[in-house]
Chain A
Amino acid sequence: MTGLTGSIPAASRWPHAGARLRLWLWLAWLVALGLGLVGIYQRMTQGHLPAGYGSYVPWGLWVAIYFHGVGIAGGAFVLGAGGFVLGLPGFGHPALVRTVIVLAVAAILPAFMGVWLDLGHMGRAPFIFLYPNFTSMMAFNAWMYNAFLIVAVVCWLLSLKSRSGWLRPLLCLAILFSILFPSQSGAFFGVVEAKGFWHSALLPMLFLASAITAGAATLLVVRAIADDQGLSRTEHDLAVARLRTVTLVGLIVYFVFEFAEFSIALWNPNTHAPAVELILWGPYWWVFWIVHLLLGGLVPLVLLITRRPRAWTGAALLIAGAFISARLNVLVPGQAVGEIQGLQEAFHHERLTYIYHATVMEYLVGLFLLAVGAAVFFLGERINRWAARRATSFSRGEA
């Protein structure tokens, strides 16, 4: 494994990245933000009219982004914080915990914004806290994430202290949350008996697996490009290698689960089969075959199997991006099969069909959310560095 170290050229690490690349990143960010703001403007002035979701497919891209975001947050946090609690080499640094926390926040905030924009009455979002209904996985989810955020922020503060007997326990609690919520995101759908494809005990597991995979991948990207706070090469390499392993295993586990789910559905056609067929052969076949399987599965798999860490980063980037397809593939086809045959023909409207196409506005808002996530991460890392400098009783490698 030692030979791997050298293959991460310093220039590719973000803080040290070349000015050209940095400029490009900034430009890309500005463009994303600008376009995103156009989407936000449309959303604010025209409400949901320019959106493609409707009543038979009530949720679209933004809800997928939400689950993707919280999945990344959960997965990354479990690994990062778990590594810290267990004291794994390359993870044991409180600064790394802070990075993970920032990453989780940067993933959750835009995710929240996504669902918030999805609401019919955005102004009433606080009702979830005023009038919670805990039998609703949605209320539960919202509370969980907020609890997680609070605990994570507390952890972040505690991590600045030289020693705190509460950091690890609280991290454990947060880890519990972050294991719970991705799987509980699965439960979010799993409890919906109305949708045959969702109503599956495997779904929480699938969500957990995809969260861990995407989280590990994102963390891998971050670790590959972000400031390692002067971690030793070896430690760094070990961490990266570990994340690669987790990503790889996660990927395989995920696809094994998915295979199980699909093959059973297809083998013994039941209520799931139409949804699965829709995923495989429907109008969105390319989401499954190209985005999900090829870009999110096969290509990363090949890249991860190679011995070139740069390839791993690429693979991780692909997974982090393409795994949104895993959400879309659960979300959209799950909704796209009606229990009552012929409903679409009984009363006609674009929003009363089982066909969903994300609209330009939705994609633009998606860009905006990405831009927000990037900004939060960037700012968070700045704060982290600033905090690290201020944290006096900081002893590296130990805690």
Chain B
Amino acid sequence: MIPRADSTTPTRRKFLAGGALLGGGLLAAAEALAAEPRVAAGNAVLNSRRPDAPYDLAQPENVIFSVCLQCNTGCGIKCKLQDGIVTKIDGNPYNPWTLHPHLPYATPVADAVRVDGAICPKGQAGLHAAYDPYRLRKVLKRAGRRGENKWVAIPFDQAIREICEGGKLFAAVPGEEQREVAGLKQLVALTDPNVSKAMAADVKAIWDEKDKARKQELVREFKRKHAAHLDILIDPEHPDLGPKNNQIVCAWGRLKDGRGDLYKRFAAALGTTNAHGHTTVCQGSLYFTCKAISEQYIGGKFTDGKKFYWQADVENCRFVLFVGANLFEANYGPPNRTVRLTDHLVSGYTKIAVADPRFSKLASKAWKWLPLKPGTDAALALGMIRWILEQQRFDARFLANANKAAAIATGETSWTNATWLVVCKDGQPTKFVRAADVQLADGPLAQPTTRPTADGKGEYVEKLMVVMVNSQPTAVDPHDAQNPVYGDLLVDTVLPDGTAVKSGLQVLLDSAREHTVAEWAALADVREADLVAVARELTSYGKMAAVDVHRGPAQHTNGFYNVLAWMSLNMLLGNYDWRGGMIKATTFDFRGKGKLFDLESHPGKISSFGISSIRHGVDYEKTTLFSGYPAKRNWYPLSSDVYEEIIPSIGDAYPYPVKALFFYMGAPTYALPAGHTNIAVLADVEKLPLFVASDILIGPTSMYADYIFPDLSFLERWEFQGSHPNIPNKVQPVRQPVVTPIPEDCTVFGQQVPLSFEALVLGVAEYLRLPGFGDIGFGAGSGGKPLPLQHPDDLYLRAVANLAWGEKADGSLTVPEADAREIELFLAARRHLPKTVFDPGRWRTIVGDELWPKVAYVLSRGGRFEDHENGYKGEHVAHPYAALLNLYQEKTATTIHSGTGRPHPGVATFIPVRGFNGEELTQYREGHDLALITHRVISQTKSRTIASPWLSAILPENGILIHPQDAERLGLVHGQNVQVTSATNAEGRWPLGDGNNKPMIGKLVVTQTVRPGVVSFALGFGHWATGAHDVVIDGHVVRGEARRTRGIHANAAMWTDPTVTNTCLFDPVGGSVSFYDTHVRLEPVYG
């Protein structure tokens, strides 16, 4: 044993002294130089000259828990600071995403900080997003043509004044000397809530009127009635276009709650109905199919469908078929889903199959890979559905439940309409049979009754549904919780009154019988035996099997029906709300309505009305714009947030011209298929007179903006991340400031805040005196003390307080208070933050002394999380969906394709890939025989993560994946450069505006991991903005980084619609854009 430092030192000193005394100084000196250093002070692990030093990152006062946003999975993170700089990001162990099971919420912070949870590489690279050298610090104003990337930095106040006042804002730009820009002041024409309310009601009446002539009459009436205010309308001939306010569009890409509340409040205060997100570029049809599945029969009609979806409870599933879901690299998301799966995969508890044209990392752990042909998901699913129905391997008991009571009686929480009878006209299923409409010999099957509407304000006539019970038509009240009704499953008959009817399940079976199982397998081009084997396996684990779908089936022109087919399969399994089945997300409320701080309160709000700029939420046929089929562009009664319509609709000025566009954290030019179509619109100052972007840097879309307001990155700001359907527990992760803001400060409502999205909103609100902002922004408050909204903290801290208070008004579900030690750590961990962001005094005042320790409790833990075991109740999840599931969708079946005029099917159906005109795209395929798809890799997220050099080290550039067979056939070799061209982009280039082009050239990756005939590329490469190219600011050239340009982004090769040519192919029902239907050619590039 080598003695420890403190004991050696004296000995050593004595020796040295002795040495000197003996005249052996020389020897001693040599020894001192050359000898192996003995243990010196504090050499705990390495015996060397250098003393030990404390490990900053392990100290609790250097840790802040927050939430990642490098991708939308939103894992809980643990940010570790060193001298006020975040240098390491790990997982928050309180958060169920990163530890499984996560730490109990009551665990003291000092204990929890010793545990690191697991997150993906992008999450760890999150600090690169915050500290990106290209981060903007000042407001930029365009100093050249749109897209020319010439800027001047201007003061915040000037920028706010200019966009509010308008005028000749770009007189310095050649060609725009005379251009007058309409300011927001001018566009916010309607400000009177009473006028808006009256107009909104009258527009609704116009829409509800079915008779054409009468509709015209109502319009004339409208004009008479509102003659004094017609100038505020976009077009008095079409009052349903709404007020001029609608010519302001507030759009976003990635927006989370909190900020979302602020943005929507902003749009509402501006009086525009146009607040649109990016859902349809993401997995839109997954959301909107599930919305259609979740429509509830309320007040005699189908309504209240939720924009949400289900995923498999992978921590308990025995068998999962993953369809177009990329769990280990993307999805929502790798850390949380992988940890729940791998153990069970190796123990054999869980078995998985993967349906994907590409052999994903997930497929490498699968028992079976079904390499289906892109776009044929419904065929594969219907093949399985047919086999399962014919083999009677479905959950008949579950499907027989015709109402809530039956569900309860059989131990279920949700139930379907599989047994409800559907009227079939000429063999076409239409609406459900209503019992009161069925005439039996002795009168109607049920008497219509008058019932109060759900809000209790009105009445409606309830006619009830019909099922066959032992072949007898029986009325059923879907919401009856007392009297169970079990219907016959497969019914195909004629009612006594001559109505041809089928049960919902029968309609599905008929759809599945359009082809034999072998034919379905052939359509999808998978082996029939494999199809059957997977179907058999799926039906071998009772309710602990599931089909988990994501973007792969959803992002097609037939996305809605692909998703419906797979979700119908889950209904056959009867697995909703079951442990190991399909589950949904559940979050803690932070808006506090009726509890603590009512953050939804918006005094003076005007009810916006009118057709949205993307024509969603209303039937085309109801509007005054109806002029037969095809419509000029598609209408979306069943979906919203139709991203591919926001900018192209502006280009077409349909339904009306747009004057000002706000864009927050989105890059449609990069993200959308055929995103280049958006560039042409954005670059045109006539089509879009004012374009304001919020961005952390100059991005692929903000580069076309007139003004870019610097934003705070996700490590500097507040948000309420919410959850995902694969997390069984109720949660609300809180994103909070961790990093000292990079942007400069500015002043809003007399207070210093960092330049940010909030500053932009508050600045405009202050300038225009918008309702819902300022000293009584949230209204009078409870104790007569008005609740201001003048500072971001006014919203976010109260939201945290609400979260801490809990969902009972009496506070009985509140969190504990942080103890003295936790408060001390809470303050210490934020010691580096400036007062503009963290001011304990201000924070405490906002939430009040009583809530302060609770707020600290929540923030110290990075949000509010239910303990793991509370996520389940017996064999069910604790937070079930517990409602009707529409196997057959009446609402869908009664909407009409605005391109073809034909009704949409109400059941899972195989529809080939089609354009808006309803035609297949065979002519586009000619000479382009490779199907183009796209996928994600773990290291990149869209246009955002290229900022991280660590991630580039993992994969510096993507390539075009191709099977050796195809490569050989085309005479192409691994590593060679090829250019991607298609029928709608024959040049194979990104036209970037202002004369710039970026050719779509990438390296060929010859691999066995794609299906022959298919090529794929990973998202996140081939940049031209986001620091990839030179920009000029105030005359200085800021050089782009070549690293960021590498690889290929082939979205511009994706097909545009043959008739709506300025946007990509889309799903006319679910709104999804098509990412996987294009066919391309690869041209070798030499030199």
Residues of A at the B interface (CB closer than 8 Å) are 130-131, 347-349
Are A130 and B33 within 8 A (Cβ)?
A: yes
Contact of B956 among A130, A131, A348 (CB under 8 A): A348
Would you list 12 pairs from A and B whose C-beta atoms are within 8 A, ordered by A residue?
A130-B33, A130-B34, A131-B34, A131-B36, A347-B953, A347-B954, A348-B952, A348-B953, A348-B954, A348-B955, A348-B956, A349-B953
CB within 8 Å of A: which B938-984 residues: 952-956
Cα A348 to Cα B939 with chains together (Å): 13
Residues of B within 8 A of A348 (CB): 952-956
Expressed in whole angstroms, the minimum distance between the Cβ of A348 and any Cβ of chain B is 5
How far is it, in angstroms, between the C-alpha of A26 and the C-alpha of B953 when the chains are bound? 48
Nearest neighbor of A132 in chain B, beta-carbon distance: B34
Write the nearest CB–CB distance from B11 to chain A, whole angstroms: 22
Closest Cβ–Cβ distance, residue B200 to chain A (whole Å): 58
Chain B residues in 8 Å Cβ range of A349: 953
Q: How far is the CA of A130 from the CA of B953 in the complex (A)?
A: 39
Q: Smallest CB–CB gap between B1045 and chain A, Å?
A: 16
Cα-based distance from A348 to B952 in the complex (angstroms): 8
Closest 4 CB pairs of A and B: A130-B34, A348-B956, A348-B953, A347-B953
Q: A130-B33, A348-B952, A349-B953 given; name 9 further pairs at CB < 8 Å.
A: A130-B34, A131-B34, A131-B36, A347-B953, A347-B954, A348-B953, A348-B954, A348-B955, A348-B956
Q: B956: which A residues are within 8 A, CB to CB? A: 348
Determine the chain B residues whose CB is within 8 A of the CB of A130 once the complex forms.
33-34
CA distance A349 to B956 in the complex (A): 9
> CB-CB < 8 A to B36: which residues of A?
131
Bound CA–CA A131/B30 (angstroms) = 12
* Chain B residues at the A interface, C-beta cutoff of 8 Å: 33-34, 36, 952-956
Give how many A-B residue pairs fall within 8 Å (CB-CB): 12
Nearest CB in chain A: distance from B870 CB, A:
41
How far is it, in angstroms, between the C-alpha of A348 and the C-alpha of B34 when the chains are bound?
A: 40
Report the minimum CB–CB distance from B727 to chain A (whole Å). Answer: 32
Cα A130 to Cα B49 with chains together (Å): 15
| Min C-beta distance of A146 to chain B, whole Å | 16
Minimum CB–CB distance from B1054 to chain A (whole Å) comes to 28
A120 to B36, CA, bound (A): 21
**B952: which A residues are within 8 A, CB to CB?**
348
Considering only CB atoms, which chain A residue lies closest to B957 in the complex?
A: A348
C-alpha gap A130/B956 in the complex (Å) = 43
- Smallest CB–CB gap between B271 and chain A, Å? 52
CA distance A4 to B36 in the complex (A): 61
Give, as a whole number of angstroms, the nearest-CB distance from B940 to chain A: 14
Task: Using CB atoms, name the residue of chain A closest to B33.
Answer: A130
Tell me, rounded to whole Å, the shortest Cβ–Cβ distance linking A371 to chain B. Answer: 34
Residues in chain A near residue B954, CB distance under 8 A: 347-348
In angstroms, how far is the closest chain B Cβ from the Cβ of A121? Answer: 14
Q: Which residue of A lies closest to B954 (CB)?
A: A347
Query: In the complex, what residues of A have CB within 8 A of residue B955's CB?
Result: 348
B358 to chain A, nearest CB (A): 19
Distance in Å from the Cβ of B341 to the closest Cβ of chain A?
Answer: 24
Rounded to whole Å, the gap between the CB of B600 and the closest CB of chain A is 49
B1062 to chain A, nearest CB (A): 39
Q: How far is the CB of B654 from chain A (nearest CB, A)?
A: 47
Cα–Cα distance between A344 and B138 once the two chains are bound (Å)? 41
* Bound Cα distance from A349 to B955, whole angstroms: 10
Q: Please name all residues of chain B whose beta carbon is closer than 8 Å to the beta carbon of A347 when the two chains form the complex.
A: 953-954
Residue of B nearest to A349 (CB): B953
Q: How far is the CB of A6 from chain B (nearest CB, A)?
A: 58
Residue on A nearest B36 in the bound complex, by CB: A131
Most A-side CB within 10 Å, residue of B34, B955, B956: B34
State in angstroms the CA–CA spacing of A131 and B33 once bound together.
9
Q: Which residue of B lies closest to A347 (CB)?
A: B953
Query: Which A residues are CB-close (under 8 A) to B33?
Result: 130
- List chain B residues, Cβ under 8 A from A131: 34, 36
A130→B37 CA distance, assembly (Å): 12
Give the Cβ gap from A142 to chain B, nearest Cβ, in Å: 15
**Shortest distance between the CB of B738 and any CB in chain A (Å):** 28
With CB as the reference atom, state the residue of chain A lying closest to B30. Answer: A130
Query: In chain B, what residue has the closest Cβ to A131?
Result: B34
In the bound complex, what is the Cα–Cα distance between A131 and B36 (angstroms)?
Answer: 8
A131→B956 CA distance, assembly (Å): 42
Q: How far is the CA of A130 from the CA of B33 in the complex (A)?
A: 7
Q: Report the Cα distance A348→B953, complex, angstroms.
A: 5
| Cα–Cα, bound, A6→B33 (Å) | 60
Rounded to whole Å, the gap between the CB of A296 and the closest CB of chain B is: 33
Give, as a whole number of angstroms, the nearest-CB distance from B99 to chain A.
Answer: 27
Give B904 Cβ to nearest chain A Cβ, in Å. 47
In this complex, what residue of B is CB-closest to A345?
A: B955
CA distance A21 to B880 in the complex (A): 96
Cβ of B120 to closest chain A Cβ, rounded Å: 16
